[in-house]
Amino acid sequence: MLTTEIILLIAFGYVGILFAIAHFGDRRAAQGRSIISNPYIYALSLAVYCTAWTFYGSVGRAAASGLGFLPTYIGPTLVCALGWVVLRKIVRISKIHRITSIADFIASRYGKSGALATLVTIIAVMGIIPYIALQLKAISMSYNIINQFPLIVMPRYFADIPVLQDTAFYVALLLALFAILFGTRHLDATERHEGLVAAIAFESLVKLVAFLAAGLFVTYGIFQGFGDVFTKAAAIPRLQELFIFESRGGEYFSWCIDIILSMVVLICLPRQFQVMVVENVNENHLQKAVWLFPLYLLAINLFVLPIAFGGAVYFTVGVDADTFVLTLPIARQQEMLSLLVFIGGMSAATSMVIVETVALSTMICNDLVMPVLLRLPFVRSSRSQDLSTAVLNIRRGSIALVVLSAYAYFRFVGEAYALVSIGLISFVAVAQFAPALLGGIFWKQGTRDGAISGLAAGFAVWSYTLVLPSLVEAGLLDEGLITRGLLQIAALRPYQLFGLEGLDPIAHAVFWSLLMNGSFYVGVSLFSHKTALELTQAALFVEVFTYPAKAEESSLWRGTALVTDLRILLERFLGNPRTEEALNTFASKRKIRWGPLSKADPALVTYAETLLAGAIGSASARVMVASVVKEEPLGLDEVMHILDETRQVIAYSRELERTTAELKSANDRLKQLDRLKNEFISTVTHELRTPLTAVRSVAEILHANPRLPPDQHRNLTDVIVRESERLTRLINQVLDFQKLETGKMTWQLLPVDIREICREALASVRPLMEERNIRATLDLPEQLPPISGDHDRLLQAMLNLLSNAVKFCDSRGGQVEIQVSRRPDHLQVAVRDNGAGIRPEDLEVIFEEFRQGRHDSRGRPPGSGLGLSITRRIVEFHGGRIWAESQPGRGSTFSFTLPFTFQQQEE
């Protein structure tokens, strides 16, 4: 039997488990073995998005409007698709600038503006406190219901219960204690709370399991599956109407507006900013979280419709749809399940309260209290006073204050509203941050004045269209305000502002507030001037991926400060050990040693400011650092210059990479040429040595045998002459090549008959051919106009080709054919042999200098490797083209063309 004692024991036992998990998480973090550093815990912690509003309120809303509850979860799914672009950018910016709240983010973007931070904080506090109250209300309501087990009694008025007998009051106190213990343990520049995140992730798991269990029980325990629930509901006309949208356009528009609202809210809610951005361990966790988190949302919403319709079918009257999740198991006398659902609802509520109060307390402390505190004369003047404890105490006080205000709100104001309405009103309030936030990271022209006026306008419209009517409904104001409008002006009716009708109050408020907000933001931004600091921050935010990943590397201080002064300042807020550690890290990274009178360089000043920003917010940090730095005002030009400088460093390093790559390839090419040259030298010297050796050995024979018979003597001297000629030829070739290469060759251009040259060339190699039994054929046209060319060079080219052909001809039955043919504007000469042929891969390279085709059997062919290269240059000088065709084993053909009209090339 569920007695009050058991329920209380379980409830407070559950909170005890949270304390244990958080404690464990913090201890592991201190040991450096984080339990939250993985995408799954990260995604679960994001599910703090699902509050008691999801757990109880979605069912209530579904029972009243069908699909109307879903945009709140579809919007975040769509944002997750853009998560890699939008969320990652916000996370990156926040890590670089050590931003710890959304107020700080917006303020920092618009020139570290204290006023903007304060405005954002005020809106957030006003918008969120009712939302926290809603969670407390849910806890109280669910407790009162389960306490009546097995009866189902709707709690009517909470005001009847004395505060000191209200369970929700004690839960609120416990939650405040939790937030204080694990949310403000120490003042750290990163402001991450591992234990807290671990507890939140655990709570997300609990609420999902509880809701799924309830859903399964209702769908399959009370009914026979999804189809059965809806079929039974379809029999009731009031429920069947909810299966489709009304055909009027208004509902589609509201649906669309609701999706937009929840999209921006996922980024703008302080608690989402806390878990998504501030508590993010590694930005790569987003990669998995962007689909895990929507999957969580899908799972927790799967049974909302069956429970809503099941409840509406089951209880015909007298049970609030907001409580169906709990009352259906109670109606079926399911003790354990009822208890599980109660704990699930509590986990949804408590996780939200914890994270939201921590996030709000950071904002209240840094952006409301600190600015005032730091202006007090005695705080400013006493330089050695330790402020870190004071800051922590302010945060602790803020947490208590937030929780207690929320409780008070729930007790005295929140009676009139259903869960969902309060939640949506809060949503619209924080949605006002969207233009300044999104504009801030994608639009450099956004200014501080624009952001302030946009926020103020949006906030004003929100107050008028949603808060004012809620006061009317709470009975605090005259109802005529809603029906007839302010001062009896119909255009000023809060629910039909400027006569806009046909929208539900939320869609109506979202439309007008975001329209005003956005218009003022853009309009004023375009007509206002930016300070140097705003300009800087705009560039650093919008182009975060093009600047260095450390804030101090794009340093924007031009001033002088003593290192000692900065150290004292840091110690006041961070305490001695942390300051020491941070400064030592900085010094050792940059290999600096500071003496007692060392001046701080701009990088150190920026580093100190960023550290402080993590603890007390960017606007306050700016003020504090400015108090010890004698700043020389930065001109606009100077800012642009510094920004350019840092960007240029990156651009420069990219340029350097590219140049290095180019140099590397040039170097490779040079190495290859060098290798080829070496080969060439060894080839040439080898070729020179062979005839030289021959000449020398013959000369030695002649010297040793002076009385040789005359014919033998003659034979031997013949050898000397032939070999010397070969030597001369070789040396001439090298010289020719040298001349061609350096452009020193002199050309004598005269009309030349190419047939003549062919005959001459053939005549010179004929003895050699006869010696090797090679048959030569000459195929010349009868009529051929002369071309303009250098006779000797063309002859040389022809000889090169012919001697090549002879060299590679088949040793038995060799054949060489010369063919000249006439084409319309040029003539073509082909020299064909029937030798071993050339490998296809060598067809191109053989014309390059020092290259020779390889022969599989014979190795390197005789010759310098320059002949074909010289030939190519000669042909190209005459405006022609040379190429080789070959089928290995069937011989090869070398052809070149010579144009009839030829303009001498500029050499």
Partner 1 sequence: MTPDSLKKRRLAGVFLLGWVFFNYPIFSLFNLPAAWKGIPLLYGYVFFIWALIIVLIMLAARRDPPPDEPDR
Residues that bind partner 1 (CB under 8 A): 67, 70, 74, 77-78, 80-85, 225-231, 234, 240, 243-245, 247, 249, 252-253, 255-256, 259, 287-288, 290-291, 294-295, 298, 302, 305
Q: How far is the CB of 284 from partner 1 (least distance, A)?
A: 11
Crossing angle of the two packed helices 433-442 and 532-542, in degrees rounded to 10: 80
Q: Which CB atom, from 12 or from 84, has the smaller least distance to partner 1? A: 84
Q: Which CB atom, from 67 or from 152, has the smaller least distance to partner 1? A: 67
Q: Which CB atom, from 287 or from 405, has the smaller least distance to partner 1? A: 287
| Ramachandran region, residue 487 (left: φ > 0; alpha: ψ -120 to 50; beta: rest) | left
Q: Which CB atom, from 228 or from 679, has the smaller least distance to partner 1? A: 228
Q: How far apart are CA 554 and CA 93, in angstroms?
A: 13
| Ramachandran region, residue 820 (left: φ > 0; alpha: ψ -120 to 50; beta: rest) | beta
Q: What is the dihedral of CA 468, 472, 477, 480, to 10 degrees?
A: 100
Q: Which CB atom, from 150 or from 227, has the smaller least distance to partner 1? A: 227
Q: How far is the CB of 215 from partner 1 (least distance, A)?
A: 13
Q: How far apart are CA 195 and CA 35, in angstroms?
A: 9
CB neighbourhood size of 75 (10 A): 21
13 class by beta-carbon count within 10 Å (0-12 exposed, 13-18 middle, 19+ buried): exposed
Q: Which CB atom, from 204 or from 555, has the smaller least distance to partner 1? A: 204
Cβ pair 296, 116 in contact under 8 A: no
Q: How far is the CB of 504 from partner 1 (least distance, A)?
A: 16
Strand partners, 897: 828
- 3-state secondary structure at position 447: coil
Q: Which CB atom, from 14 or from 255, has the smaller least distance to partner 1? A: 255
Q: How far is the CB of 287 from partner 1 (least distance, A)?
A: 5
Q: How far is the CB of 657 from partner 1 (least distance, A)?
A: 11
Q: How far is the CB of 74 from partner 1 (least distance, A)?
A: 6
Contacts of residue 576, defined as CB under 8 A and 6 or more positions apart, other chains included, come to none
Structure tokens at 832: 């064909």
Q: Which CB atom, from 156 or from 248, has the smaller least distance to partner 1? A: 248
CB neighbourhood size of 390 (10 A): 18
Q: How far is the CB of 73 from partner 1 (least distance, A)?
A: 8
CB neighbourhood size of 355 (10 A): 29
Q: How far apart are CA 356 and CA 361, in angstroms?
A: 8
Q: Which CB atom, from 84 or from 412, has the smaller least distance to partner 1? A: 84
Structure tokens at 504: 């539900």
Q: How far is the CB of 649 from partner 1 (least distance, A)?
A: 19
- 3-state secondary structure at position 883: strand
Q: How far is the CB of 224 from partner 1 (least distance, A)?
A: 10
Q: Which CB atom, from 240 or from 773, has the smaller least distance to partner 1? A: 240
Q: How far is the CB of 105 from partner 1 (least distance, A)?
A: 22
Q: Which CB atom, from 88 or from 98, has the smaller least distance to partner 1? A: 88
Q: How far is the CB of 85 from partner 1 (least distance, A)?
A: 5
- Please give the single-letter amino acid code of residue 587: A
Alpha-carbon separation of residue 367 from 146, 352, 425, 617, 630 (angstroms):
41, 22, 23, 7, 24
Q: Which helix (H) or strand (E) holds 330?
A: helix 324-331
Q: How far apart are CA 11 and CA 144, in angstroms?
A: 13
Contacts of residue 36, defined as CB under 8 A and 6 or more positions apart, other chains included, come to 25, 29, 42, 45, 194, 197, 198, 201, 279, 281
Q: Which CB atom, from 83 or from 450, has the smaller least distance to partner 1? A: 83
Q: Which CB atom, from 83 or from 865, has the smaller least distance to partner 1? A: 83
Strand partners, 750: 789
Q: Which CB atom, from 67 or from 587, has the smaller least distance to partner 1? A: 67
H helices of 366-479, in order, are: 370-373, 377-381, 388-412, 419-431, 433-442, 448-462, 468-473
Q: How far is the CB of 78 from partner 1 (least distance, A)?
A: 5
Q: How far is the CB of 58 from partner 1 (least distance, A)?
A: 14
Single out the residue of 816, 120, 133, 724 nearest to residue 413, CA to CA: 133
Cβ pair 189, 574 in contact under 8 A: yes
Cis peptide before 494 (omega within 30 of 0): no
Contacts of residue 244, defined as CB under 8 A and 6 or more positions apart, other chains included, come to 66
Q: How far apart are CA 780 and CA 436, in angstroms?
A: 87
Q: How far is the CB of 738 from partner 1 (least distance, A)?
A: 41
Q: How far is the CB of 70 from partner 1 (least distance, A)?
A: 6
Q: Which helix (H) or strand (E) holds 886?
A: strand 882-886
Q: Which CB atom, from 241 or from 581, has the smaller least distance to partner 1? A: 241
Q: How far apart are CA 607 and CA 363, in angstroms?
A: 22
Q: How far is the CB of 285 from partner 1 (least distance, A)?
A: 12
Q: How far is the CB of 426 from partner 1 (least distance, A)?
A: 23
Q: How far is the CB of 898 from partner 1 (least distance, A)?
A: 43
Q: Nearest-5° angle of CA 351, CA 354, CA 360?
A: 130
Q: Which CB atom, from 230 or from 737, has the smaller least distance to partner 1? A: 230
Q: Which CB atom, from 82 or from 768, has the smaller least distance to partner 1? A: 82
Q: Which CB atom, from 292 or from 461, has the smaller least distance to partner 1? A: 292
Q: Nearest-5° angle of CA 584, CA 589, CA 590?
A: 100
Structure tokens at 178: 């939790």
296 class by beta-carbon count within 10 Å (0-12 exposed, 13-18 middle, 19+ buried): buried
